[in-house]
Amino acid sequence: MLRPTRQTNQGNSAALSSKPIKTGPRVYEEIRRMAMDYRFKPNERINEVALAARLNVSRSPIREALQRLVTEELITFQTNRGFFCRGFDVDEIVNLSDVRAVLEERSVRLAIQRASDEELAALVDWWTLTMARADSFSSTELTARDEEFHIRIARLSGNPELARMLEGINTRIHFVRKIEVEKHRRLSTTYTEHSEIARAMVARDADGAARLMHDHIAISVADAMSTVREGLARIYVDVDVDQI
């Protein structure tokens, strides 16, 4: 099965995408998404040939993408044993949250210091609009909006390195965050917290915004444990339904 003859490099993805998307970047993005969503089970070995067959490419682009993901900490690697899905660990989540809190605090402070009034007003408007539509969004969409809120602030900080590191953390805690979004959806506290942060930014209240941001991000070990429990349940109950 699956295309025994040599293909002339283009026709992959079986006429699904008519655009000639480069396989390298496509493969990277696809595996990255899989890792973010824990489509691989924690600590599971990732079989290169199986993955290559699934994505209709050879092992070369697979391995290159996996190597990149290793330094992004989305997967791990052991010589002669291959690539593994990262674990799903309470300590890691707590530690990442701690780092994230520090960086996000710096992020708002710099944004308050450097962003224009228009930019901050745009942030408030965008989030207000998002909140109004919140009920029509799926959890996935809502998670994306949550992530975007923080990314926007990071961009406004004017420090691309800071933004990049926060994005790196975001991809690592994406799965956790999605669970938290659904939890909070019932409480709907997240959205008001974002509003408060944005308001403090408009008011140029650096200390206040930083404190709000910190409290918004800080996570208790108990909360982390509960989230991990919930996450593990999902990881091991959802079934792969997309076989070609």
Partner DNA sequence: CCAATCAGAATTGTCGACAATAGAAACGGC
Partner DNA sequence: GCCGTTTCTATTGTCGACAATTCTGATTGG
> What is the DSSP pairing of strand 45-46 with strand 75-78?
unpaired
From the list 80, 116, 136, 138, which residue makes contact with DNA (rule: CB under 7 A)? 80
Burial class of 241 by CB neighbour count within 10 A (0 to 12, 13 to 18, 19+): exposed
Minimum Å distance from CB 155 to a copy of itself?
Answer: 13
- Give the DSSP per-residue string, 136-205: GS-HHHHHHHHHHHHHHHHHHTT-HHHHHHHHHHHHHHHHHHHHHHHHHHHH-HHHHHHHHHHHHHHTT-
Question: Considering just the CA atoms, what is the radius of gyration of the chain in Å?
Answer: 20
119 interface partner picked from a copy of itself, DNA, none, CB below 5 to 8 A per type: none
The answer to whether 188 contacts DNA (rule: CB under 7 A) is no
Minimum Å distance from CB 64 to DNA?
Answer: 7
CA 219, 143, 224: angle at the middle one, nearest 5? 20
Q: How many residues bind DNA (CB under 7 A)?
A: 28
Which residues would be at the binding site for a copy of itself (CB under 8 A)? 22, 24-25, 60, 63-65, 67-68, 70-73, 79-80, 92, 95-96, 98-99, 102-103, 106, 159-162, 164-165
The pair of structure tokens assigned to 1 is: 């099965």
Please report where in the chains the tokens 């799926």 appear, as a residue.
138
18 or 79: CB nearest a copy of itself: 79
45 or 164: CB nearest a copy of itself: 164
Nearest in space to 217 (alpha carbons), one of 116, 107, 119: 107
The answer to whether 11 contacts DNA (rule: CB under 7 A) is no
12 interface partner picked from DNA, a copy of itself, none, CB below 5 to 8 A per type: DNA
Query: Considering only 41-49, 86-94, 185-193, 197-205, which stretch makes contact with DNA by CB under 7 A?
Result: 41-49
Ranges of H-type helices in the chain: 23-36, 48-55, 59-71, 90-114, 117-133, 139-156, 160-187, 189-202, 206-217, 221-237
101 or 198: CB nearest a copy of itself: 101
Query: Considering only 3-11, 100-108, 123-131, 166-174, which stretch makes contact with DNA by CB under 7 A?
Result: 3-11
The answer to whether 40 contacts DNA (rule: CB under 7 A) is no
Minimum Å distance from CB 240 to DNA?
Answer: 17
The answer to whether 127 contacts DNA (rule: CB under 7 A) is no
d(CA 217, CA 96): 10
63 or 106: CB nearest DNA: 63
Half-sphere exposure of 138 (CA within 13 A, CB side): 2
From the list 15, 18, 79, 222, which residue makes contact with DNA (rule: CB under 7 A)? 79
d(CA 73, CA 69): 6
Contacts with DNA, residue ranges (CB under 7 A): 6-10, 12, 20, 22-24, 45-50, 56-61, 63, 79-83
